[in-house]
Amino acid sequence: MTQESNGASAADRKVLHPFVLWGQKDQNLYLTVQLQGVTDPIINLDEGRLTFFAKGYGCHGNNVYQFEIDLYLPVQRKLSSWKVKEKCVEFHLMKESSEIWPRLTSAKQREPWIKVNFDHMQFSDDSEQEEPPFPKWDSDDSPAPSSRRRRDDDRIRDAVSKDMDKFFAVFRSPLKLYLFLYNMFQWVGFCYVFHVSLYSYLRAGSKAQRQEAFASIRPQLCMLQLAASLEILNAALGWVRSGVLATGMQVFGRGMILFMLVLPYEELQRMEPVFWLAVTWSAVEVVRYPYYILVVLGQESSLVTWLRYTMWIPLYPLGFVLEGLVMLAALPRVMEERWYSVELPNKFNMSFDFSLFLRVYMVGFLVGAYALMSHMYAQRKKKFGANPRSQFSRWGLLPFLSGRNQRRALGLDSGDGAGGRVQQKKAK
C-alpha cells in the first residue's frame, strides 16, 4: 500500500542558519544550536570566532546549516568544549573574565537566528533583583516601529522567494517534473474517487442503488491502479527510495484483487466490502500523495507529515480485513469456474491452479500485512520518536492551525525570546 518518499536530491538544498540560543553566568558562556540528528559536524573555535557547519533537522527541515559568529570578547579555547546530542549541539565556552556581555556578537546588529536562553542568562544587576530583568535595547540599537515593519517585510519576502525558487526548480529538472506530475495526477484522481464514491453511496435511497455505488468510480479506479504500475519502474530505475520487491508486491496485490477478482464478477461489485475497500484505498492515497508532492518540492508541512504517519493506523488494518473478505467471497467462484487456471493436457505440459494459488496467497497475505504494519510503525517511531505524544506540539496540529510555526520560521515570533516575555509581562 505504500511507496517510499519520492525524494529530491540533497544537492538542491541550500545552506541555512540554525536557531542559536545563548546564555551566560559568571565566566561561563552557554550556546545551544537547535539541530536534531546532526551529522558530519565541522566546528572551529578561535579565541574570538566560532564557525559551525553540519547537516541536521532544524527550522527549515532536513538541510545543511552553518553560521559564523564573531564573539563579543575572546574566550579560552582550551577550557571550552562542545557536545553533539540527539536533539541539539551544546557549547560550553569559558570567558577570559566574569564580565557580563551585553550581547553575544561583537557587531551591534542583531541576527534573527540568535535568541536569548533565559534559563542560562545572568544580567549585570541580578544580585539586586528577585527575578531576572528583561534585556533592554540600547539607544543606538533600538529599531523604530517603521524599521521593524520593514525588517519583517523583508523576511517575509525572502521566505516567499526561497519557496518559489524551490517550486520552479521542479520545472528545470525533468525527473522532478515527472515525479511531481505523477504524484499530483494520483492525488487528484483518488480525491475524485473518494468524493464521488461517498457521494453516490450517501445519495442512494435504496439498497439496490447503494450496490451500484462501486460502478460510479470503477473506470477511474482502474485507471489509477494501472498508473500505479509506474511505481515499480520508478523504484527499479532508482528514481525513488523504494524497494522494487516491496513495491511490486503491493501493486500486484491491489491489481490482482481489482482486475482478476472484482471486475470479472458482477456479483462481487455489488458487495459492501468491495465498495468500502475502494473507499479505504482512496483514503490512504489522499493522505499519502500530498506528502510525496511536498518532498519533491523540497517542502514540509507538519500537518501533512502527521497525517502521513498516523492515518495508516486505522486505515491499513481496515484495508487488510476488507481485502481478505473480498478474496474469501471470490474463492468459491474461482474454484467453480476455474478462471485463470491451466489444465492438462497442453503443449507446454504444465498446469496451474489459480484457486490453489489464491489460497496460498491468502496465507502469505497475513504475513505480509504484519510485516507492512511493523515497517510503518518503525517509520513512525523514527519520525516522531519513542513517545509520539511528546512530539505532538513539535509536529502537529495545534501549532500548525494557529500559524505559530510559520511565524517562527520567518523569525517574526521569537517564542521564548525577549520580545514574547516582555509582552507577557505587560499583559499581566
Compare 347 and 189 and report the one with higher pLDDT.
189
Q: What percent of the chain has pLDDT over 90?
A: 34
pLDDT number for residue 183? 95
pLDDT number for residue 14? 57
pLDDT number for residue 386? 61
pLDDT over threshold 90, residue 318: yes
Cell of 189: 484522481
Query: In whole angstroms, what is the distance from residue 303 CA to residue 289 CA?
Result: 13
pLDDT number for residue 117? 82
Order of strands, sheet of 75-84, starting from the edge strand that comes earlier in the sequence: 75-84, 89-95, 28-33, 20-25, 114-121
Count of Cβ atoms closer than 10 Å to residue 50 Cβ: 21
Across the range 144-172, mean pLDDT stands at 71
Pairing of the two strands 20-25 and 114-121:
parallel
pLDDT number for residue 147? 63
Q: Is 0.95 topped by the overall pTM?
A: no
pLDDT number for residue 205? 76
Lowest-pLDDT range of 42-46, 295-299, 418-422: 418-422
Which position among 182, 316, 340, 377 bears the catalytic label? 316
**Mean pLDDT value across the chain:** 80
Across the range 87-99, mean pLDDT stands at 89
Residue with grid cell 557536545, as numbered in its chain: 83
Lowest-pLDDT range of 66-80, 131-145, 166-180: 131-145
Q: What percent of the chain has pLDDT over 70?
A: 79
pLDDT over threshold 50, residue 417: no
Across the range 371-396, mean pLDDT stands at 71
By the 8 A CB rule, do 104 and 120 touch? no
Which position among 30, 323, 337, 370 bears the catalytic label? 323
Across the range 359-381, mean pLDDT stands at 90
pLDDT over threshold 70, residue 224: yes
Across the range 40-51, mean pLDDT stands at 87
pLDDT number for residue 15? 60
pLDDT number for residue 222? 95
pLDDT number for residue 282? 95
Residue with grid cell 482502474, as numbered in its chain: 222
pLDDT number for residue 194? 95
Q: Omega of the bond prior to 345 within 30 degrees of 0, cis?
A: yes
DSSP, collapsed to helix, strand or coil, labels residue 314 as: helix
Compare 239 and 394 and report the one with higher pLDDT.
239
pLDDT number for residue 233? 92
pLDDT over threshold 50, residue 159: yes
Query: In whole angstroms, what is the distance from residue 313 CA to residue 376 CA?
Result: 9
Annotation marks residue 131 as catalytic: no
pLDDT over threshold 80, residue 406: no
Pairing of the two strands 49-58 and 36-45:
antiparallel
pLDDT number for residue 422? 38
Compare 326 and 375 and report the one with higher pLDDT.
326
The string of pLDDT tens digits covering residues 235-246 is 999 888 888 888
pLDDT number for residue 319? 94
pLDDT number for residue 4? 41
Task: Compute φ and ψ for 151, nearest 5 degrees.
Answer: -60, -45
Annotation marks residue 316 as catalytic: yes
DSSP element (H, E) containing 83? strand 75-84
The string of pLDDT tens digits covering residues 116-130 is 887 767 655 443 333
pLDDT bin (cut points 50, 70, 90) of residue 361 is: very high
Residue 111 pairs in a beta bridge with none
172-201 in b/e burial notation, b at 16+ Cβ within 10 A? eeebbebbbebbeebbebbeebbeebbebb
pLDDT number for residue 180? 92
The string of pLDDT tens digits covering residues 61-90 is 888 889 999 998 889 888 889 899 888 999
pLDDT bin (cut points 50, 70, 90) of residue 148 is: low
Lowest-pLDDT range of 8-17, 159-168, 295-304, 397-406: 397-406
pLDDT over threshold 90, residue 388: no
50 DSSP assignment: E
DSSP, collapsed to helix, strand or coil, labels residue 66 as: strand
Q: Structural domains in the chain?
A: 20-116 (2.60.40.790), 167-387 (no CATH)
pLDDT bin (cut points 50, 70, 90) of residue 387 is: low
By the 8 A CB rule, do 56 and 38 touch? yes
